[in-house]
């Protein structure tokens, strides 16, 4: 399907918008991906540091267990000293105690008190669960921020360490705008939501590497629109794209203009060729026309000259004079034809003169009358023009009338009672000449073509008489047409001199 030319700018705009959209999506995807990579890197670093902290808890428990096992009576001073030191350096360790279970009774001694070990009663509530614990166990109460680590020191004797989970990631372990959650099993110990009011969120989680404290760290971050599509990246890109689209549009315009110019040049070349062909054609037409028009005066000159020869032999001075007069007339006519053709070829104006209708017709007829008389053709002439004046090129007009009459005469060959009727009238600023014969008429298939150059139905015809007539009449601002009415009928219209 071909797109209409007027829709093309719309297509360019749509393609531009689509490209901008694709660029936006690519930039956003790139920024999102690198943001998520940062998140994963931070998570992995935080996981490593968290694992180190958990390992510290294990080390403290091992050290405490070793001191407890030394067998000092409870409350032990050595254990208290160590517990105090641990508590001072690690504020997140909020409780260090021993628990001794004896049947249904349990005794707890807290060593984290600065004042000294402190015996504390312990209800029987947690004891069965405690008894089921292995060598090291971790517990936390739902909704609490802390968790407890129990370490079995001797049968029925446990070390307890309570950790404030909030202290584990409080010290800038993760970037400010990251959110995090620290889980122990299903218990969420601590949570910080991510800062941004985000367009998109990303979350990654990690099981902290510890044999005793199975914590899971989850970090999340939001992406604001500005982070995904930073104006400093987007603006130059959009500008670049706009410039590229403008350049493309300009390029297309230049290419199109170039093509149009090529087309125009080709058209011009074609027109020039046609005009040249037309000129050559017209020239050929003209040359044939000259030959055609001169054929008659030359033939007449020949026959009159032969008549003159005979007159000399017969010593008939009168016939000789007649023949010489006719020769002079024909030679003049041939000269006139040549002069008119020369003027026509040179593009000069024909000699327009003002002549009364009657005289114009009489002069034109004079040329044809001897031939018509010889052929035995009756000519009826009616002039109903008053004293109307024609504006014509006299020689051209004679040529037209002569051509029409010659054609009529030729069509009447072999006809009974051959007749030509000529009517001239003038009215409403126009002279109308009607020349009709009683011959066979113009074949209807030929009628539309008789004014075309080289159209003829005669074996010896040239088909130039009527085209020449049409051209001459046109030059005099008139018109000529042909129809059949009995025989052929030609109507010539010419302008009349406008009376002052
Ligand atoms: P040509 O006489 O050499 O054929 P023209 O241009 O004078 O060339 O005439 C063109 C054709 O018009 C003629 O061949 C003929 O068929 C037709 N024609 C012209 N005048 C008459 C007429 N009076 N009667 C019948 N046919 C005519």
**Averaged pLDDT, 154-159:** 87
Tell me, in angstroms, the distance from the centre of ligand 1 to residue 456's CA.
6
Looking at residue 101, its pLDDT comes to 81
pLDDT-above-70 percentage for the chain: 90
Q: Which two tokens stand for residue 361?
A: 């017709």
Nearest CA to ligand 1 atom 14: 456
Q: Which tens digits make up the pLDDT trace of 214-253?
A: 999 999 998 888 888 888 888 888 888 888 888 888 888 8
Looking at residue 481, its pLDDT comes to 96
Q: Which two tokens stand for residue 249?
A: 């549009």
- The answer to which of 130-144, 366-380, 385-399, 485-499 has the lowest mean pLDDT is 130-144
274 lines ligand 1 (CB under 6 A): no
Q: H helices within 375-463, ranges in order?
A: 394-411
**Averaged pLDDT, 191-219:** 88
Looking at residue 128, its pLDDT comes to 53
399 lines ligand 1 (CB under 6 A): no
Q: Is the pLDDT of residue 404 over 50?
A: yes
Q: Ligand 1, closest atom to CA 467?
A: 6
Q: Which tens digits make up the pLDDT trace of 441-466?
A: 999 999 999 998 778 898 867 777 89
Dihedral pair phi/psi, residue 177, rounded to 5°: -90, 0
Confidence of residue 410 (pLDDT cuts 50, 70, 90): very high
Q: Is the pLDDT of residue 348 over 50?
A: no
Q: Mean pLDDT highest for which of 120-129, 154-163, 440-449, 457-466? A: 440-449
Q: Are strands 378-384 and 419-427 parallel, antiparallel or unpaired?
A: parallel
Tell me, in angstroms, the distance from the centre of ligand 1 to residue 407's CA.
6
- The answer to which of 262-266, 294-298, 493-497 has the lowest mean pLDDT is 294-298
What is the pLDDT of the chain when averaged over all its residues?
86
> Which among 371, 414, 405, 418 has a CA at the least distance from the CA of 490?
405
465 lines ligand 1 (CB under 6 A): yes
- Ligand 1 mutation target, pool 285, 434, 448, 450, most atoms within 8 A of CB: 450
Nearest CA to ligand 1 atom 20: 407
Task: Report domain 350-495's class.
Answer: alpha beta
pTM score, two decimals?
Answer: 0.48
337 lines ligand 1 (CB under 6 A): no
437 lines ligand 1 (CB under 6 A): yes
Q: Is the pLDDT of residue 152 over 70?
A: yes
- Ligand 1 mutation target, pool 293, 402, 407, most atoms within 8 A of CB: 407
291 lines ligand 1 (CB under 6 A): no
SS (HEC) of 273-320: HHHHHHHHHHHHHHHHHHHHHHHHHHHHHHHHHHHHHHHHHHCCHHHH
* HSE value, Cβ hemisphere, 13 Å, CA-based, for 406: 19
442 lines ligand 1 (CB under 6 A): yes
Q: Which two tokens stand for residue 445?
A: 């298939």
CA–CA distance, 466 with 473 (Å, rounded to integer):
10
- Ligand 1 mutation target, pool 409, 412, 466, most atoms within 8 A of CB: 466
Q: What residue spans in the chain does CATH classification 3.30.565.10 cover?
A: 350-495
**Averaged pLDDT, 28-54:** 93
Q: Ligand 1, closest atom to CA 464?
A: 6
462 lines ligand 1 (CB under 6 A): yes
Q: Is the pLDDT of residue 437 over 90?
A: yes
Looking at residue 333, its pLDDT comes to 80
457 lines ligand 1 (CB under 6 A): yes
Determine which helix (DSSP H) or strand (DSSP E) holds 122, and give its type and residue range: none
To which residue do tokens 């010489």 refer? 324
Q: Is the pLDDT of residue 202 over 60?
A: yes
Tell me, in angstroms, the distance from the centre of ligand 1 to residue 77's CA.
150
Tell me, in angstroms, the distance from the centre of ligand 1 to residue 242's CA.
73
Tell me, in angstroms, the distance from the centre of ligand 1 to residue 493's CA.
19
Q: Which tens digits make up the pLDDT trace of 247-292?
A: 888 888 899 999 999 999 888 888 777 766 666 666 776 677 677 7
Tell me, in angstroms, the distance from the centre of ligand 1 to residue 93's CA.
131
190 lines ligand 1 (CB under 6 A): no
């Amino acid at each position: 399907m071909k797109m209409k030319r007027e829709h093309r700018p719309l297509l360019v705009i749509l393609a531009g918008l689509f490209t901008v959209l694709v660029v936006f999506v690519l930039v956003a995807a790139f920024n999102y991906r690198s943001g998520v990579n940062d998140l994963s890197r931070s998570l992995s670093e935080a996981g490593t540091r968290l694992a180190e902290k958990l390992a510290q808890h294990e080390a403290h428990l091992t050290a405490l267990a070793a001191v407890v096992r030394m067998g000092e009576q409870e409350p032990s001073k050595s254990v208290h000293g160590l517990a105090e030191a641990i508590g001072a350096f690690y504020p997140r360790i909020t409780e260090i105690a021993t628990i001794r279970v004896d049947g249904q009774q349990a005794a707890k001694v807290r060593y984290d008190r600065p004042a000294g070990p402190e015996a504390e009663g312990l209800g029987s509530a947690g004891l069965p669960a405690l008894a089921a614990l292995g060598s090291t166990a971790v517990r936390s109460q739902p909704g609490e921020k802390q968790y407890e680590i129990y370490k079995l020191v001797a049968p029925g004797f446990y070390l307890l360490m309570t950790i404030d989970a909030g202290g584990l990631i409080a010290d800038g372990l993760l970037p400010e705008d990251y959110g995090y959650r620290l889980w122990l099993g299903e218990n969420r110990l601590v949570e910080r939501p991510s800062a941004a009011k985000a367009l998109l969120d990303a979350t990654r989680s990690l099981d902290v590497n510890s044999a005793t404290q199975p914590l899971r760290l989850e970090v999340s971050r939001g992406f604001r629109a500005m982070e995904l599509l930073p104006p400093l990246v987007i603006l130059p890109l959009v500008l670049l794209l706009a410039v590229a689209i403008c350049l493309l549009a300009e390029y297309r315009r230049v290419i199109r203009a170039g093509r149009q110019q090529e087309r125009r040049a080709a058209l011009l070349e074609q027109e020039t060729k046609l005009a040249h062909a037309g000129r050559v054609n017209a020239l050929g037409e003209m040359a044939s026309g000259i030959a055609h028009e001169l054929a008659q005066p030359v033939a007449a000159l020949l026959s009159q000259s032969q008549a003159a020869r005979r007159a000399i032999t017969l010593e008939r001075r009168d016939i000789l004079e007649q023949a010489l007069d006719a020769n002079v007339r024909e030679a003049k006519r041939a000269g006139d034809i040549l002069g008119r053709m020369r003027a026509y070829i040179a593009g000069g104006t024909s000699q327009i003169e003002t002549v009364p209708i009657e005289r114009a017709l009489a002069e034109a007829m004079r040329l044809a009358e001897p031939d018509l008389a010889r052929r035995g053709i009756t000519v009826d002439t009616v002039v109903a023009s008053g004293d109307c004046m024609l504006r014509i090129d006299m020689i051209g007009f004679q040529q037209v009338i002569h051509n029409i009459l010659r054609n009529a005469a030729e069509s009447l060959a072999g006809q009974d009672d051959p007749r030509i009727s000529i009517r001239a009238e003038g009215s409403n600023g126009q002279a109308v000449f009607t020349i009709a014969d009683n011959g066979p008429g113009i074949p209807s298939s030929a009628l539309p073509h008789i004014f075309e150059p080289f159209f003829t139905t005669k074996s010896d015809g040239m088909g130039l008489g009527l085209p020449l007539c049409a051209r001459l009449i046109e030059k005099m601002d008139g018109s000529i047409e042909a129809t059949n009415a009995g025989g052929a009928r030609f109507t010539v219209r010419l302008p009349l001199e406008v009376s002052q």
